[in-house]
């Protein structure tokens, strides 16, 4: 199994102390975490995208540019690029530039995003989100695979004999389709023979298994080789202790305060926005959070693998309010105590 670290660059007050670092401090932490992740042997580092709520991730391409300059081997991903609200020409140019700067280490995860306000922000109709996503993604594909593109669509002006520059570094960067609640993303990924990145962050496991099963069925139905149906899975945050009892004792107040702080009552009832795992005990036993002893976390990841058959596991260390030194220590412990086992027990040829 390959392993990735994700940051959404959250910028909320600490759920217990109220401390809030400056934006500049948060960006410095995020860059340093990427440098450490490379040193610890993680395969990829991803920067999320948010235009609403307490996040600083509205411009992931800028942050990835800084990471490209500070790293040399780790793959750099988005998590996600909300193609539906963007101009595909700009996306093609920005990320091909990053691909050149990083010498071929850029990969996109495209999706509609996990916020409910960005369509209004960009003057777009949220009811048309999947139409926007499909048209704009398919134009992006053409811009990266063809030169002299002639194109007409519904959501942006027509193109005539268009070649975006720069071209990608060494072929088209891999594009994953982020999938959280809807069958639309698995369907689009399957249609084009692309990999799927399931959120696996809020809902019970069965909800994500349904999306992955649909993706694999449709991938083969579209005539693609099933061996190329790569799947990645996120997670709902990482907290490591020596035992389950120690995890509860150390993190219970922090976890449950963060759940309360992150609750979005106006989105209650909409799948994928509010976790049903309100207590830390529920999160440890049934949730997509990775909380507990190293062996508990190994068992949970391998349990997901039995159902998902995924190639790439993403973890997040800055979502619960750990200090930056605690985040780095959590990464180190995962790399030393957990990663070798899951790599051995669930091998993957992705990126080999």
CATH topology assigned to domain 2-345: TIM Barrel (3.20.20)
Residue 271 has pLDDT above 80, yes or no: no
High-pLDDT (> 70) share of the chain, %:
97
- What is the pLDDT at residue 1? 97
115 pLDDT band, cuts 50/70/90, is confident
Query: Does the pTM exceed 0.85?
Result: yes
- What is the pLDDT at residue 250? 97
- What is the pLDDT at residue 276? 86
269 pLDDT band, cuts 50/70/90, is low
Q: Determine the Cα–Cα distance for residues 279 and 255; give it in Å rounded to an integer.
A: 8
Mean pLDDT of 319-346: 98
What DSSP assignment string belongs to 208-253? HHHHHHHHHHHHHHTT--GGG--EEE--S-EEE-SSHHHHHHHHHH
Instruction: Please state, rounded to an integer, the average pLDDT across all residues of the chain.
Output: 95
Angle, CA of 345, 346 and 351, to the nearest 5°: 135
- What is the pLDDT at residue 270? 67
53 pLDDT band, cuts 50/70/90, is confident
Q: Determine the Cα–Cα distance for residues 108 and 255; give it in Å rounded to an integer.
A: 30
Mean pLDDT of 173-194: 97
In what helix (H) or strand (E) does residue 118 lie, and over which residues does it extend? helix 118-121
Q: Determine the Cα–Cα distance for residues 342 and 313; give it in Å rounded to an integer.
A: 10
Length of the chain: 352
**What angle, rounded to 10 degrees, do the helices at 184-192 and 129-145 form?**
20
Mean pLDDT of 188-200: 98
Residue 336 CB contacts under 8 Å (≥ 6 apart), including other chains: none
Residue 267 has pLDDT above 70, yes or no: no
């Amino acid at each position: 199994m390959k392993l990735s670290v994700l940051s959404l660059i959250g910028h909320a007050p600490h759920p217990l102390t109220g401390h809030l670092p400056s934006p500049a401090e948060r960006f410095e932490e995020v860059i340093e975490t990427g440098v450490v992740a490379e040193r610890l042997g993680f395969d990829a580092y991803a920067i999320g995208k948010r235009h609403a709520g307490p996040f600083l991730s509205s411009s992931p391409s800028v942050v990835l540019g800084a990471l490209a300059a500070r790293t040399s081997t780790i793959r750099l991903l988005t998590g996600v690029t909300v193609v539906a609200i963007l101009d595909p020409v700009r996306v093609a140019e920005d990320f091909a530039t990053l691909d050149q700067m990083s010498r071929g280490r850029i990969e996109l995860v495209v999706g509609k995003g996990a916020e409910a306000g960005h369509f209004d922000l960009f003057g777009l109709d949220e009811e048309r989100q999947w139409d926007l996503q499909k048209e704009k993604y398919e134009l992006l594909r053409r811009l990266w695979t063809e030169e002299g593109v002639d194109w007409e669509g519904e959501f942006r002006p027509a193109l005539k004999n268009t070649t975006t520059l720069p071209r990608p570094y060494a072929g088209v960067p891999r594009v994953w389709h982020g999938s959280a609640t809807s069958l639309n993303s698995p369907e689009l990924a399957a249609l084009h023979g692309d990999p799927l990145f399931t959120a696996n962050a809020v809902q019970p496991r069965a909800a994500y298994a349904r999306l992955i099963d649909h993706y694999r069925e449709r991938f083969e139905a579209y005539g693609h080789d099933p061996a190329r149906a790569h799947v990645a899975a996120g997670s709902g945050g990482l907290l490591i202790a020596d035992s389950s009892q120690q995890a509860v004792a150390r993190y219970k107040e922090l976890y449950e305060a963060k759940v309360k702080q992150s609750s979005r009552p106006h989105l209650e009832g909409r799948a994928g926005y509010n976790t049903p795992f309100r207590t830390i005990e529920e999160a440890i036993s049934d949730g997509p959070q990775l909380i507990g002893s190293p062996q508990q976390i190994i068992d949970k990841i391998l349990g997901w693998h039995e159902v998902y058959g995924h190639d790439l596991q993403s973890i997040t260390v800055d979502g619960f309010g750990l200090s930056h030194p605690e985040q780095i220590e959590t990464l180190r412990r995962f790399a030393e105590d957990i990663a070798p086992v899951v790599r051995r027990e669930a091998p993957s040829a992705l990126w080999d």
